[in-house]
Structure 1
Amino acid sequence: MSFDTRRNANDDNRTNVQQYVTFAPVALTSTATVQSVGQVLEVPQIWNNRDMYLHIENPHGAYSLYINGSLVARSTDTRTPMEFYISPYVNHGRNAIVIDVETSGEPLLSSSLAANPRAQFENSYIYSQPKLRIYDYDVRFEPDSTRTFGWLELDIIAGNSHNYTETMEVGYDLTDPAGKLQDYNMRECSIEGHSVDTVHFRMPIYKTNQWLWSQRTPHLYKLTMYSKLGQMMTDYIPIRLCFGDTRFDGERLLRNGKEFKIKAARYNAEKSRTQTLKDLRALKSRGVNTIYVDYPQVYWFYDQCEQVGLFVVDQANLNVERGRNDRTIGGTPSNDPTLVDEYVDRVRRMYRRNRNRTCIIAWSLGGNSGNGYAMYKAYQWLKAQGDERPIVYRDADGEWNSDWQLPATIE
């Protein structure tokens, strides 16, 4: 989500902004198989003529989302944060949001995971955004071919959900780890109704080598993107940027042009930021430089890894050991053609959510979940994105849908 002021953006203040409402549904009814929870949304007047979304985290089972009695979506992914566009279902005034959660525990494709320690729907919220705004972005901040300075390549995807063409400006500013402004730019774009346009920036950034991000020196630049309508700034999106690059040459993982030796531990974020940060620092003090996760983590986990100086191998939420050694069709879910869309969707959501994270040095298709047609298709989709970081999968067992064998953990 974007922020309404630069100050809220800088402070990561999501609770006291006008477009944010915490989603904390209460129990409504319960049967042997389904628990219904819900919350009334009183749409604030300031949200009129804005786009509304529901961000869901930590459901304790597969679920169906209803708004004012209409089915919005169903999901069986209990670990990857999800966002639903809810404006078509919401009326002015009071709205009933109901979620039916299956009580049978983790769904099939995450059945080998331990129970979620977080409260159900913790970190969930409803928010609104301007109809004319920054929808998405792609950013790379890497050395030039001679490794003497850096290139900032930024694609800002601006969108317009009005029924008519609108003109807006989008831009950014970049400050180095010492707080010095290094670059800024702004451009105008005209966007037809219900469409998007990509504004491309490519600028040289000098004196970057002194701020190279590494385990020993986790220097962080700050990039703030923003949009402007007339004389009014309408939204801000802040991110931290790590200068450097990760490549895979077919045999070796290269970080900033040099071979990188992984020393890994498996770890998933704890409930609190404080405890997670403490754990990450302790792992680093014991010689760990890379974290293997079991599923996509809460956004601040990656912030903390970049702050501490730890790399991450991100992993899609595909964790099903049932039948993993059965290579008949449907013997393992990973070889079930009817599950291809679900496999690809989980890998897609992992990648689209975290593709701009410099701390991520490889993509894992899933946990020990067997292999087969559905996993092949997930690999092919991810490979087609053109990312230079390797794709790994422990259960590929020498087959073609893994670029590299990850080193074992050291603890």
Structure 2
Amino acid sequence: MEVYRWCTGSYLENQDNVRLSGIFRSVFLVSRSPVLIRDFTVRTHLDDALVEAELEIRADVRDYAGESSATALGYQLRARLFDGTAPTAPEVWAQTAEVDVAGVGIDVTTTLSAPFQQPRLWSAECPNLYTLVLELCHEDGSVVERVSTRVGFRRVEVIDGVFRINGQAVSIRGVNRHEWSPRTGRTLTAAEMHADIRLMKQSNINAVRTSHYPNDPRWYELADEYGLYVFDEANNESHINRIDGGDRPNIPGDRPELREPLLWRMRNMVDRDKNHACVVAWSLGNESGVGSNLEAMYEWVKTYEATRPVSYQDATGSGSAIVPTGLSDFDGDFYPPVTELITRAERDSRPYLLIEYAFSQGNTSGYLDEYWAAIREHPGLVQGGFLWDWADKGLWWALPGHPGEEFISYGGDWGDDPNEEGAHMSGLLLSDGTPTAKLAEAKLAYQPVSISAKDLLAWTLTISNEHLFTGLDVYTLHWSLTEDGTTIEEGRLPGAQLAIGPQLSADVTLPCRLPEPVPAWAEYRLDVSFHLAASTSWAERGHVVARAQFDIPVALRSETRVAVIDLPPVDIADDANVVRVSGDAFAVVIERATGRLTSLRYDEREVLASDLLPNYWRAPNDPELATPEIRAYLPEPSQPWRGVGEEWTISKVEVQPMSGAARVTVRGSITTSVPFRPSYQITTSPQSIVYTIYGNGQVDVLSTFAPVANTPNPQVIGTTFGLRPEFDTIHWYGRGPLESTADRRASAFFGRYSGAVADQVTCYSRPQDSANKADTRWAALVDDTGTGVLLVAGGSMYLNVQPNSPDELADRRHWHEVPTSRRTVVRIDSAQEGVQGGNWDVLTRPDKYSNTPAKGPFSLLYRIMPLREGEDPSDSARRYVETDLPYSPPAAPHPSPKDAESQTVSATSTVRDWLGQPDAAGHLRAAMSRAEFDDSVLGASLDLSVVQLFAFSRGRLTSEMLRDLIGKVATLPSQSAGTIR
């Protein structure tokens, strides 16, 4: 046997994957009888009512050596069907037909058929299988050859523009999958395949596109068994060569020399996989342009095997173009913006599928929940799609100079030049199979049970069963009520009690109640989840299939007031270099020249390992880095913000003493640096940090940044500092347990979580930002005694805690290149840009996930407190100090402000001025009664953080006041109302 590394077929195999040499699949030598069953086709025909079925078997018998003429015995073909796949499955049908074998090398086709009443149907939800055994026998009954296959009765069709399986409009909740193992490349073991398909089923994935070639035969057997819809794709992708023009040769196009190789590939795939119930569509390939060769492939399939529709995408080289009807029975796109999804789906009468979407390279998969919100809001219009893609495609590689050590390698690590770096590291799983938060987000988006609130105060939910064939009696409903993240009540309802059939909805009232009396100001949430009531082939009993979390509309959480006059006094030492504020068991040092908080000591122990300073940068993720070609045209590189917070210009430092507290106000400005992009402007914007230090050691940090027009979008807006490395354990109340971002947080539910700081990091192939926690209320960073620092948000905050700084992560290709940490790095942000989710770069990032200057000024308020051994961080987080010190942030300069913008900025400053007033709550009530909260005030600049900031630093918002505010918001145009809400 000879194996060629390159051949003419290489032009048809230009897939986005790691190119490896050798044989990827096992090779078998099989000894068979000279007269044998060369091929057979099994088809199941169902009537419209799916009650009556016909099993049709066509078998081709061939004599390869003249054996039939050498024996006096004739031949028979015997078929037997067993109900199930176990060795003890009962036989339900048998039939025998005579076979007239004559001539060498000539196929003799024999057909057997039988009617069936109400067969158990196959689908991804209910993968009911029968076993068919075909026996070629002599007339005396002796068996010459025996073959078998599994059979699934199911009906696949496209009717009136709808893709249907067993009569129902199917929702494809799929993923693209390359065959890949980090140890053996494109060769997978059976155990690896089982692990993949079990995890897919556990993650609510019901479909796979075999991108971009037929898979190992065992994969289809598992898909039949476990229940997975397969779009079977021919080994055909010319990629960049598909476009005619310049040095691109338009392959395959109309080239006659490529027609037979393409048809050969299509025939082989269809002939091999035609009897698998899991295969519900054929695909001509991927990104191979248009032309008569592809048309010939489509026409051949429609003639030879018309029981399944045909798919093909990116036929014209543009993902936004309509797929020609002569190439595909589906319309669809690659990576459409979520805002254009419905418009594109309406352009054609064929079923619309997202053949590839949500490119998942590195820390991405943002706003996936928005895609599925749009899909659910327009039932039947978009029939789902295939995420890109299942797993990173890296290889374990020996680490040079370190015998016995390995690292995950990718493009550029193997002497391959040119290369696409980490473009193939685009999976929901890491290369070693570790699931990421991206998979959790996909599982939530794909869940087959929708749970929505109808009347939360009455504990009534609407449960919608999105299964096509399965009732909710296979699940148990679990519910729990939490108070500030701690479960205080819980219960269960058996699925049979719900009695919600396929594609039906019902209201369910839970036997839940709030404590009596309700503790003032606590946050309450209702968690609801559906668990498997019995074990299946892919998950154990109790596995969570669907879940939801709801905020119960009660008042804000409790905070115990401590008046300033009741606190110990503070000492202020102010000189030309530093401001030192100290008191009983604490000391704070602020450097005048830099505005940094350089030292924080509790109980004679320094807790800081690096200074507290403004920050606008994070280690870029893969979409922000992209590939070298894409970097050339990215509009918003992150580099303008790297390190600028370390060099901010200080214009004024004010010290305001008072009994029991001191306030240090640092005012200055931030100037961006703009390398590599001469078209960008270098801008200077106001930045201030106000430190309020109380006699109990509490430090409030209020950072305000007001970017001017034409300022590049900061990735993050907040502050950063380092804690000593012994503070290596984190406890937090907020979203978790996996990381969450501005545009990827739906699957991260509120709760109380704990873990090692190092474990918060996700080791994506290229070191980049991770470990983020959106909507954090408080976090405690402690040593092994439970002593440490408590961080409390003024409402909520983005919190990022990990061992390394952004500078230590950036510009490094691998994790073994990242230096050993000597601190715990903390980043607290008021705003973050989304990690991106629509495509492989930041060009399609929605504006709502961008930190544009028009959204400023940006304010961040949080508190640093000592946490001592034995203290409960939740109890400590509820304490706050009452102060009468006023504060007015700098107004944001606008070159040519419109009247409405000026009013908004003015109103924002006015609200923030209320922070220091004795009757701040009264000010808010009076303002609402005077209707001062009109549309010009409640604009993009006055967002929810202002209200949270107000409630945190001053009085309380009663439920009555909140209802008044919500009433005002409800009367506003949708854009402004959404911003506030």
- After TM superposition, list the pairs within 5 Å mapping 1:138-153 onto structure 2: 138-153=41-56
Instruction: Report how far residue 328 of structure 1 moved.
Output: 9.4
* 8 Å Cα contact 1:132-1:168 kept in structure 2: no
Instruction: Report how far residue 309 of structure 1 moved.
Output: 0.8
- Residue 126 of structure 1: SS of its match in structure 2? coil
Residue 172 (1) aligns with residue 79 (2): yes
Task: Find the counterpart in structure 1 of residue 216 from structure 2.
Answer: 298
Instruction: Report how far residue 104 of structure 1 moved.
Output: 8.3
Q: What is the distance in 2 between the residues matched to 1:123 and 1:101? A: 16
Q: What is the distance in 2 between the residues matched to 1:334 and 1:285? A: 39
Task: Find the counterpart in structure 1 of residue 203 from structure 2.
Answer: 286
Residue 266 (1) aligns with residue 176 (2): yes
What letter is aligned with 2:262?
Answer: Y
CA gap 1:410/1:105 in 2 versus in 1, 3 angstroms: same
Residue 181 (1) aligns with residue 100 (2): no
* 8 Å Cα contact 2:79-2:132 kept in structure 1: yes
- Residue 152 of structure 1: SS of its match in structure 2? strand
What letter is aligned with 2:250?
Answer: T
CA distances 1:277-332 after superposition (whole Å, capped 9, x unpaired): 21112122222111011111111100101111100000000022132232799832
CA distances 1:73-123 after superposition (whole Å, capped 9, x unpaired): xxxxxxxxxxxxxxxxxxxxxxxxx31423689822112242467963641
Task: Find the counterpart in structure 2 of residue 405 from structure 1.
Answer: 331
Instruction: Report how far residue 337 of structure 1 moved.
Output: 2.5
- After TM superposition, list the pairs within 5 Å mapping 1:374-389 onto structure 2: 374-389=293-308
Q: What is the distance in 2 between the residues matched to 1:329 and 1:223? A: 53
CA gap 1:105/1:401 in 2 versus in 1, 3 angstroms: closer
CA gap 1:253/1:331 in 2 versus in 1, 3 angstroms: same
Instruction: Report how far residue 274 of structure 1 moved.
Output: 1.3
What letter is aligned with 2:146?
Answer: Y
Q: What is the distance in 1 between the residues matched to 2:292 and 2:134? A: 40
What letter is aligned with 2:149?
Answer: I
- Residue 128 of structure 1: SS of its match in structure 2? coil
CA distances 1:206-260 after superposition (whole Å, capped 9, x unpaired): 341xx22122211111111111124421211111111111111251111111111
Q: What is the distance in 2 between the residues matched to 1:287 and 1:392? A: 23
* 8 Å Cα contact 1:291-1:310 kept in structure 2: yes
* 8 Å Cα contact 1:250-1:403 kept in structure 2: no
TM-score, with structure 1 as normaliser = 0.70
Instruction: Report how far residue 272 of structure 1 moved.
Output: 1.2
Q: Match for 2:243 among 325, 334, 337? A: 325
Residue 337 (1) aligns with residue 256 (2): yes
What letter is aligned with 1:156?
Answer: A
* 8 Å Cα contact 2:214-2:235 kept in structure 1: yes
Task: Find the counterpart in structure 2 of residue 156 from structure 1.
Answer: 59
Task: Find the counterpart in structure 2 of residue 23 from structure 1.
Answer: none
Of the structure 1 ranges 178-187 and 319-328, higher mean CA displacement relative to structure 2 is found in 319-328
Q: What is the distance in 2 between the residues matched to 1:101 and 1:134? A: 32
Instruction: Report how far residue 145 of structure 1 moved.
Output: 4.4
Task: Find the counterpart in structure 1 of residue 30 from structure 2.
Answer: 127
Q: What is the distance in 2 between the residues matched to 1:327 and 1:246? A: 39
Residue 254 (1) aligns with residue 161 (2): no
CA gap 1:250/1:181 in 2 versus in 1, 3 angstroms: same
- Residue 366 of structure 1: SS of its match in structure 2? coil
What letter is aligned with 1:144?
Answer: D
TM-score, with structure 2 as normaliser = 0.30
Instruction: Report how far residue 130 of structure 1 moved.
Output: 1.0
* 8 Å Cα contact 1:157-1:197 kept in structure 2: yes
What letter is aligned with 1:318?
Answer: N
Q: What is the distance in 1 between the residues matched to 2:387 and 2:169? A: 19
Q: Match for 1:201 among 93, 112, 116? A: 112
Q: What is the distance in 2 between the residues matched to 1:305 and 1:130? A: 30
- Residue 298 of structure 2: SS of its match in structure 1? helix
* 8 Å Cα contact 2:230-2:278 kept in structure 1: yes
Task: Find the counterpart in structure 2 of residue 217 from structure 1.
Answer: 126
Q: Match for 1:190 among 86, 100, 103? A: 100
Instruction: Report how far residue 146 of structure 1 moved.
Output: 3.7
Instruction: Report how far residue 139 of structure 1 moved.
Output: 0.8
- Residue 308 of structure 2: SS of its match in structure 1? coil
Instruction: Report how far residue 410 of structure 1 moved.
Output: 3.8
- After TM superposition, list the pairs within 5 Å mapping 1:308-319 onto structure 2: 308-319=226-237
CA gap 1:328/1:334 in 2 versus in 1, 3 angstroms: farther
- Residue 249 of structure 2: SS of its match in structure 1? coil
CA gap 1:298/1:115 in 2 versus in 1, 3 angstroms: same
* 8 Å Cα contact 1:396-1:402 kept in structure 2: no
Instruction: Report how far residue 361 of structure 1 moved.
Output: 1.1
- Residue 322 of structure 1: SS of its match in structure 2? helix
What letter is aligned with 1:362?
Answer: A
CA gap 1:276/1:117 in 2 versus in 1, 3 angstroms: farther
CA gap 1:318/1:213 in 2 versus in 1, 3 angstroms: same
- Residue 339 of structure 1: SS of its match in structure 2? helix
Residue 372 (1) aligns with residue 291 (2): yes
Instruction: Report how far residue 348 of structure 1 moved.
Output: 1.3
Residue 275 (1) aligns with residue 192 (2): yes
* 8 Å Cα contact 1:315-1:364 kept in structure 2: yes
Q: What is the distance in 2 between the residues matched to 1:190 and 1:107? A: 43
Q: What is the distance in 2 between the residues matched to 1:302 and 1:186? A: 28
Question: Which has the greater radius of gyration?
Answer: 2
CA gap 1:121/1:285 in 2 versus in 1, 3 angstroms: closer
CA gap 1:331/1:121 in 2 versus in 1, 3 angstroms: closer
- Give the aligned length: 312
Q: What is the distance in 2 between the residues matched to 1:326 and 1:296? A: 27
> Structure 1: which 5+ residue stretches go unaligned?
1-97
- Higher RCO (CA < 8 A, seq sep 6+): 1
* 8 Å Cα contact 1:182-1:205 kept in structure 2: no
* 8 Å Cα contact 1:327-1:372 kept in structure 2: no
CA distances 1:154-196 after superposition (whole Å, capped 9, x unpaired): 1121112233646211111101128221101112222211222
- Residue 348 of structure 1: SS of its match in structure 2? helix
RMSD, matched Cα: 2.5
What letter is aligned with 1:368?
Answer: E
CA gap 1:264/1:353 in 2 versus in 1, 3 angstroms: same
Q: Match for 2:310 among 391, 406, 410? A: 391
> Structure 2: which 5+ residue stretches go unaligned?
181-187, 317-322, 333-352, 355-385, 389-981
Residue 348 (1) aligns with residue 267 (2): yes
- Residue 323 of structure 1: SS of its match in structure 2? helix
Q: Match for 1:243 among 121, 142, 153? A: 153
* 8 Å Cα contact 1:262-1:290 kept in structure 2: yes
Instruction: Report how far residue 150 of structure 1 moved.
Output: 2.3
CA gap 1:118/1:277 in 2 versus in 1, 3 angstroms: farther
CA gap 1:187/1:193 in 2 versus in 1, 3 angstroms: same
Q: What is the distance in 2 between the residues matched to 1:360 and 1:100? A: 30
- Residue 61 of structure 2: SS of its match in structure 1? strand
